[in-house]
Amino acid sequence: MPIQPNHLSILGIIHTAISIFALLAAFYALYKEGKINPLSGTGKLYVLLTIITCLTALPIMKTGHFTPAHGVAVIILVLLPIGIYAGRILKNGGDYLQVIVMSTTLMLSCIPAVVETLTRLPISHPIADGPADPLLKMCLNILFTLYFIGVIYQVIKIRSKKKSAKTPDGTVKLT
């Protein structure tokens, strides 16, 4: 069977490349800091590349109309400022809100990454037949499970850090 041509437009190729770098920045931040902190260097890079990814996704319409992937991009664009300003939104729970929201943006970014990868590669015979493919559904279920485990881990880590910062009389140690 001959190799099929790449059906990505120039904008699609640029969008894909930027999205890969955004995901790499997020995973590096998780590795380095245990969370995506939008105020750190790696976190700022993730936010910037994710914004560009979402904006470049909006004009890509292989079906000719708005799709769920466009909706995901819009949701991510709404969530990013919430994650960035979480500390101002919730004084006491801002760190919790931040890890939940930033992790959610990553998970949402991974949905189209998984779907597009499995339905496009390898070019000659993609792994998944389409959105209803059982393998694709299994991969998305694994993604959601990893997301929930990751968020729970980050929340527990924040909580234990706060508990260890308190003195026996209930005041918080300044470090």
Residue 41: pLDDT over 80: yes
Q: What is the value of pTM for the model shown?
A: 0.88
The pLDDT assigned to 162 comes to: 86
Q: Tell me which residue of 101, 79, 110 sits closest to 155, measured CA to CA.
A: 101
| R_g over Cα of the chain | 19
Write the burial class of residue 163 (CB in 10 Å: 0-12 exposed, 13-18 middle, 19+ buried). exposed
Which two three-digit tokens encode residue 50? 């994710």
pLDDT in tens, 88-134: 999 889 999 999 999 999 999 999 999 999 998 888 899 999 889 99
- % of the chain beyond a pLDDT of 70: 91
- Predicted confidence band of residue 173 (pLDDT cuts 50, 70, 90): low
Position with higher pLDDT, 19 vs 120? 19
